[in-house]
Amino acid sequence: MDKLSLKEIKELEEKAKNIRKSILIALCNAGSGHTGGSLGMTDIFTYLFFKGLKNDPQNPKWEERDRLVLSNGHICPVYYATLGERGYFSKENFENNLRKFNSPFQGHPHRKFLDILETSSGPLGEGLSQAVGIALALKIDKNNYNKKVYCLVGDGELDEGQNWEALMTANKYKLDNLIIIVDRNKVQLSGKTEEIMPLDSLYFKLESFNLNVINIDGHNFEQIHNAIEEAKNIEGKASVIIAHTIIAKGVKEWEGDYHWHGKAPNKDELELALKEI
């Protein structure tokens, strides 16, 4: 397995900084939206679009691309900002138009307005089944065998029973082309996951579904890389990467605070945050 070089890590860190800034500017302009999860998943998104995922901004619907389903659609600012940084569209367009009327950058992702998305999402707990559907469809056609399906889910949304239906299906059909990444920041809208509906031991729950489960620090590019490489090469099993992340990562004063789940920074907060990043 190839290791990430120090140079690559540096470059990814630089990209992640730009993406975090773009997220914050867009959310401040929008006046509402989900800051915490977006900042928390920035390193994973950066890795995926700049290293792990087969994708081509010049040809967004490239047949050979890997597929990505964002189940917890509310963290779409990080998705849009990463696509902007990668060159799918101009960053300024995103920063000025997030959550604006008739914008490609809807409050929750909608294919009708941004057709490079694999699917629309928002209502929690439904992305994983859709990713299973994509993975199954790719398996039917032999020449699609090498394409991977990435599905990003929040830990809070695992409260929804449909996820576990999807995981059973992933096991039944041995979907080794499916790589699930759980944003394990341990907070959800109104508090800590372990108080609202305890999830732990998440690792053993998932392992008991006969999935290949990997725990990582979701802000460590080397660990992200190694886990994705392992998941890409596993046979006969879907993989779940439990990415331990910190909500609102990058702005010390906000880190770990669930109040940042669903609010946008005001101008003063933006200034502080941009300085820190």
Question: Rule CB under 8 A: which residues touch other proteins?
Answer: 67, 69, 110-112, 118-123, 126, 129-138, 140-141, 144, 161-162, 165-166, 168-169, 172-173
* Residue 124 beta carbon to other proteins: minimum distance, rounded to whole angstroms: 11
In contact, 138 and 130? CB cutoff 8 Å: no
Strand partners, 187: 192
What is the rounded CA–CA span in Å between residue 248 and residue 267?
17
| Helix and strand counts by DSSP (H, E) for the chain | 11, 7
In this structure, what DSSP letter does residue 52 have?
A: I
Minimum distance between the CB of residue 70 and other proteins, rounded to whole angstroms?
13
29 vs 177, which CB is nearer to other proteins? 177
- Rounded to whole angstroms, the Cα distance separating 28 from 151 reads 27
Q: Minimum Å distance from CB 64 to other proteins? A: 13
Whichever of 43 and 118 has its CB closer to other proteins, that residue is: 118
Kindly state the smallest distance separating residue 185's Cβ from other proteins, in Å: 24
Q: Which is nearer to other proteins, 22 or 163 (CB)?
A: 163
Of 35 and 130, the one with the shorter C-beta distance to other proteins is 130
Min dist CB 125 to other proteins, Å, is 8
Q: What is the C-alpha separation between 16 and 3, in angstroms, rounded?
A: 19
Comparison of 122 and 262: residue with beta carbon closer to other proteins: 122
Rounded to whole angstroms, the Cα distance separating 43 from 224 reads 9
8-state DSSP, 37: H
